[in-house]
Each structure stands twice: as structure tokens, then as C-alpha cells.
A = this chain, B = another copy of it.
Amino acid sequence: QTFKIAAIPGDGIGVDITQAAIRVLDTLAHVNGTFSFEYTNFDWSSKAYLERGWYMPPDWEEQLKKHDAIYFGAVGWPSVPDHISLWQMILPIRQRCNQYVNVRPTRILKGTHPPLAQLQGKPSDLDWVIVRENSEGEYAGQGGTTHGHEANAVATELAIFTRVGIERIMRFAFETAKLRPRKKLTMVTKSNAQRHGMVLWDTVFYEVAKEYDGVVEYDKMLVDAMTVRMVNKPESMDTIVATNLHADILSDLAAALAGSIGIAPSSNLDPTRSCPSMFEPIHGSAPDIAGKGIANPVGAFWSAAEMVRWLGKGQLDEVADKFMVAIENVTGQPETRTKDMGGSANTEQVTEAVCKEIEKV
């Protein structure tokens, strides 16, 4: 079985870590022998944009849809305004490829030092899956500006929530929670201050929740209070569902509390499988260390493991699990950790070590 992967390294360290991920994926396939990967490399980046004026060609959707999955590095570069780079690449892909779920598992990998005193020695107290609505809400893109340069300028952002959009993300979140050992779902909202869209969000949540009564335990948190709970009672949560913006914020906080933003993965999923899903580490392009060969590839590897799991439709779970064991065997050793994890290894050394572990486990 050959999986066709659209590889979009993008900007900065996205290039380093995509290369590393491909090498590791190929090793995994080689060792396993029952599947392989075929990559198409897309040079859609800020660098290319600065040369030719566009990120993706007009037929980008068609091109991507010829693949089984998309592997994405990072996008963003100082000389291009962020709202241009994002709205010309990552956000259209998420939205037009029907990737309405973004799954962000967070736990403390071996060798990671979490900053919260209460987690030191008890890393298993932080084990979350954040299910992010990925297609609408605060990222709908609507809104505009009137009198931009005048004293009476007004600009708006329109967050849009549809029943269809809310229902499908809630259902996905409950199904995710149901498969986790603790079967617990926390729904995040700001329906006290945002009384239209967020109230629909709450309403649909409780409707869907009825179907899971007695199966999944659930509760509701306001987004501000949620940050307090994440800091004070990490062990009290398991699966978390939140809007596009809230989950964006909470997942970065989660990664920081788990000890490193460099290890966190993210899966942009189309659960209907009518479009390719996209896998990307949650970190950015990190211009300050780009091209130095020192980026932490662990988030990229974890994302790759999630890609394997998704592509396998249940058949490659064991392979993905072993991949994760290999990764943790490497992060568990001080010699093979990058700087952000307290070590001094470079990207190449970590990649090499993970390949060796894959050959062993």
C-alpha cells in the first residue's frame, strides 16, 4: 500500500522538520514493509511568495486532493504580514478541505520538564486531548474596515457559528472522549459575555450530550476560568472541546504547561474522509533559529505518527504506537534532546536517534 503525501514544508524551521519527518516516515515504512509513502513536494512558502507574488496556484485544491494526506511544516515570515501568509495558505486549506476538526493531544513526554511544580514527578496528571473547531467561529474571516485611516474608523470581526458546524464538532469530541480511558469531556465557552453565537454553542452541546448520558462524563467551563483550572487542576480534565480561537489559545497554553511547544502535534481532520487531512506540529516557523539545523523535530514526528494512525484507518495503530515509543525512547535520553528540552542535540542527531529506535522496537 502506497500513501500519497502532499508535503508542504513552508517557512523557516518548517523546512528542517519536514525533511526530518520524511526521513523518519520512510524508515518506519521500510522497517514495517507493508506500506510506503510517495511524496509530492510543494514549494508554497513566504520565500516563494516574495519572489512571485503568490503562495498557492489557482488549482491548489485540485492538486492537494490527489493525495491521501497533507504534511505541513510551518508558515510565517517577518517580511510578510501574518494575515497574508495565513489567509493565502494554511487557513484556506483547513477550511476548503473540510478539515473541520483539529485534534491536539497534550501529554508530558519522557524527558520533558513541565514548569508546574505540582507536575514534577507526576507527569501523568496532565493528559489532555483538545478538540478544536477548525472551520468557522472566530476564524470565519468575515468582517471589514470602514474609514480605516480616519478618526471615525471602525473595523469588525464576525465570528460565525452554525448548528451543523457545532453539532459535528461536539459529536467528534464526545466520540473522542468515549474512547479515552477516563471518558470525560470539558466544553469551553464564553457564553456569559458573548450571548449569541456562544449561546448556540452551549445549546447544541447539551443537545448532543444527551446522547452520551451515562457514557461520557461532561462539564462546562468559561474560557477564562479554564486557564485557571489547567494550571491548578490539570488532573481534573481529559478531553476538551472549544471554539477555533479559544482552542488556539488553550492548546498553546497546554503545550507550555506540558513543558515544550516544540513537541506538540496537531491533526486537521476531515472525518468524512472526502478530502485529505493535514498534519502539522503546532509550533511556528521560528525565524530566529531557521536554517541552523537545531529545531526540535519531535512535534513533527508526533504529527507524523498521528498521520500514520489516520491513514491506517485502525490498521496501523500498532505501528503508530511503536513510533511513539521510539520517540519517547529518544526524548528520554539527555544526549538526544534539543535545546528547548534542556539538551544540546541538533535536529539531525534527534532524527538519527529516532530512526535507530524505530529499527529496534
Which residues of A pack against B, CB within 8 Å? 76, 82-83, 85-87, 91, 115-118, 120, 138-139, 141, 143-145, 147-148, 150-164, 190-201, 203, 222-225, 227-228, 231-232, 244-245, 248-249, 251-253, 255-257, 261, 284
Contacts and interface: CB of A to CB of B under 8 A. Distances in A.
A253 B284 CA distance: 22
Contacts of A253: 227-228, 231, 253
Contacts of A141: 195
Given A115-B117, A190-B245, A193-B245, 18 more contacts: A83-B192, A83-B198, A117-B120, A138-B193, A141-B195, A143-B158, A145-B197, A145-B199, A151-B164, A154-B160, A155-B160, A155-B162, A155-B200, A159-B159, A190-B248, A227-B249, A228-B256, A232-B256
B200 A224 contact: no
Given A83-B199, A191-B83, A245-B193, A156 B159 contact: yes
Contacts of A161: 154-157
Contact of A257 (B83, B120, B195, B231): B231
8 contacts: A83-B194, A143-B159, A154-B163, A155-B200, A157-B197, A227-B256, A231-B253, A232-B256
Count identical subunits in the complex: 2
Given A116-B117, A224-B248, A249-B249, A162 B157 contact: no
A273 B146 CA distance: 30
